[in-house]
Structure 1
Amino acid sequence: MSQSDPQAIQQVLAQYQGDSYVNGWAELWNKGDNLPWDRGFPNPALEDTLIERRSTIGDPVAKDAQGKTYRRKALVPGCGRGVDVLLLASFGYDAYGLECSSGAVEACKQEQAKNGDKYPVRDAEVGQGEITFVHGDFFANDWLESLGLSLNSFDLIYDYTFFCALDPSMRPKWALRHTQLLAPSPSGNLICLEFPRHKDSLASGPPFPSSSEAYLEHLSHPGEDIPYDDKKLVKSDPLREPSRNGLERVLYWQPARTHQVGKSQDGEVHDRVSVWRRRA
């Protein structure tokens, strides 16, 4: 299978339905396929967010109630080759990359060994965080237990090409899982780089068309079935109250920089960045 063969990828994923869908991604990775949106370096929108929105997201090093200093934990589910994990660690977070196959985890470790020196420490006083790559299912707890972590352990979660890689039927479960992994507000922040917003809503995936409205509805009502219309667009109800356990969008903007795939032919940025917290 080649990098430019999305139909072949769809054929593999079509063999896995429902909760087994992630096993299709594991098969692709274990075959050693180069997946089509692997850019080889972090999206510059993430780098800009960590720098420019630090006052909202918080510092990578914090103090607990007893005044003891600790590194905050960052998670990248579906981390690909781990480039975002390397970037987060360079900013000072203890960064965890989660992938659904042993082949993907091995690719992450190879990336770290080969290109880790391309991610210098950003602040000498803060230093670099630890890097951990783990094999597991985002929706299960065994990988957490293997790391000695509990639910609601992550101060930062970064979601870029994970939401759009999942079959849309899994979006309620995706949103609910974020509420289970994210630390309490205001410490815990979910950063979503929303992509592909510009793709035809009726087009097949992956990546599946992912509107800002879809992020908003699912994260505001985690675990709930969200209605879509015949054009596969979210049917928003302005009178519908957000769920008590839902996430609240605290920031939303058009980034100045993003990968080329998130732009129009004229260079207009289609991607958006949103930051979410658990409701108090």
Structure 2
Amino acid sequence: AEQRAMQRAFEHFEELGLIGGCIYVGDRLAAFTYGSAVNDHTFDTHVEKADTEFDGAFTIINKLFAQHLPERFTLINREEDLGLDGLRQAKLSYHPAFLQHKFAAICMHPDEVACKELWIKAFGDDEQFADSFIMRYYSRRRMLTAEAEGRMAAMLHLLPFRTELGRTTYIYGVATDPAFRGRGLALQLMREAMRLIAERGDDAAFLIPTPGKEWLREFYGRFGFAGDVPARFVSADRFDFGTGDAAADRAMVWRRNSSVPLPEQLTASWRS
């Protein structure tokens, strides 16, 4: 995607009002960069690439490009760090004058909007967390819902993981709108979830009851979930699938073969 964006930029360089620069070592391109004006005094560096065989190439292209920009630009926006520790450290090493809050603009389908609204209402999480889950891991095919009075009243998500027990489903985000609690909607969804898990032949399933709500252990125990196993999640982006407190991430586990012993710790690796 980045390469396609750069190619489009090169093809429409003048139309986009871009300014760029290159460093050559002999006939070899060692680094290049380009960007555009945000306003009369701020310039945005969109792309900066360098051949790492040339020590210091990134630092040099950054410094020289800044020196060659028109004098009216008193601020340079280095854009974001993408959540990458190394990139964040590199950007902070330039001692930025200030950091801007990052916003995400996403187009949500009606089912995603309904999921977000119910999530916030049921769990009290902020919009940023709900958006993060929806953008990264939400799929309508992995969600079960119950409707009442023309709206989403309850939901749960069936997320694919691999654990010590084999192919495993994580039953995540079991939620009922407070206005519709006591109608058996969560019970209905759990029955359907367990039917699907059994039907597709998963080796195991697990969930994390909300800390402090001990009655949930009895509720989930009806479906064969047992134990109080510390759970650890592994995913490329380190998304927190737990409670927000690692010490409280205690899983109840269902096994297709109930004679298989529970692990001392459940390590769940995302399986796309």
TM-score, with normalisation over the residues of structure 2?
Answer: 0.25
Structure of larger gyration radius: 2
